[in-house]
Amino acid sequence: MKPGPFQRVMFALYAAVFFLYLLGPLAVMAVSAFNTPQYPQVWPIEGVTLDWFSALFADQDMMTGLKMSLWIGLLVVCISVPIGLAGAIIMTQIQPRVRSLYYLVVVSPVLTPGIIIGISTVVFWRQFTGQTGTRFLYDGVVLTVLGQASFISAYCMLIILARLQRFDRSQEEAALDLGASYPQVFRHILLPFLKPALASAAILAFLSSFENYNTTTFAILSDKTLTTVLAGRVRQGSTPAISALAVVIVAVTIIGAIAYEIAKRRTDAAAARRQRAALEAEEAELSGTPAAAMG
Partner 1 sequence: MSGSLAFVFGLPLAVVVFFFGLAAYERRTGVATGGGFFQRNGLPIGLYLVLAVGFWAFFIILLPQLAMVDMSFRPKLPPSQMGGPKDLYTLENYRYFLFGSTTSTEEWNWLHIKAFFLTIGVSIVITLINFAICYPLAFHMAQSATAARLRVLLLLLILPYWVNEILRAFAFRVLLSSGGIINQMLMGGGLTSEPIDFLGADVGLYMGLSYAYLLMMIFPLYNAIESLDTNQVEAARDLGAPWWHIHAFIVLPHAKPGIASGCTLVFMLTAGALAAPLVLGGPRTLWFTPIVYDRFYQAFNWPQGAAYAFILLVSCILFVLVVLKAFRLSLGEITR
Q: What is the DSSP letter of 94?
A: S
Which residue number, 13 or 199, has a Cβ lying nearer to partner 1?
Answer: 13
Residue from 49, 61, 74, 103 that binds partner 1 (CB under 8 A)? 103
**Do the beta carbons of residue 61 and residue 229 sit within 8 Å?**
yes
**Residue 235 within binding range of partner 1, rule CB under 8 A:** yes
**Residue 32 within binding range of partner 1, rule CB under 8 A:** yes
Within 177-216, the residues that bind partner 1 by CB under 8 A are: 181-183, 186, 207, 211, 213-214
**Residue 144 within binding range of partner 1, rule CB under 8 A:** no
| Cα separations in angstroms, 21 against 12, 28, 103, 240, 250 | 14, 11, 37, 21, 17
Alpha helices in the chain (DSSP H): 5-32, 51-58, 60-93, 96-111, 114-132, 140-164, 169-177, 182-185, 191-211, 214-219, 226-236, 240-286, 290-294
Rounded CA gap, 4 and 12, in Å? Answer: 12
Residue from 9, 45, 58, 249 that binds partner 1 (CB under 8 A)? 249
We find the least distance from the C-beta atom of residue 38 to partner 1, in angstroms, to be: 11
The residues, ordered by sequence, that sit 6+ positions from 197 with a Cβ below 8 Å of its Cβ are 159, 160, 162, 163, 164
Which residue number, 162 or 199, has a Cβ lying nearer to partner 1?
Answer: 162
Residue count, binding to partner 1 (CB under 8 A): 88
**Residue 76 within binding range of partner 1, rule CB under 8 A:** no
Within 254-273, the residues that bind partner 1 by CB under 8 A are: 254, 257
Residue from 20, 137, 174, 250 that binds partner 1 (CB under 8 A)? 250
Binding mask 104-123 for partner 1 (x = CB under 8 A): xxxxxxxxxxxxxx-xxx-x
Within 275-294, the residues that bind partner 1 by CB under 8 A are: none
Using the rule CB under 8 A, give the single segment among 10-18, 55-63, 266-274, 279-287 that binds partner 1.
10-18
Rounded CA gap, 129 and 106, in Å? Answer: 24
**Residue 218 within binding range of partner 1, rule CB under 8 A:** yes
We find the least distance from the C-beta atom of residue 76 to partner 1, in angstroms, to be: 12
CB-count burial class (<10 Å; 0-12, 13-18, 19+) for 37: middle
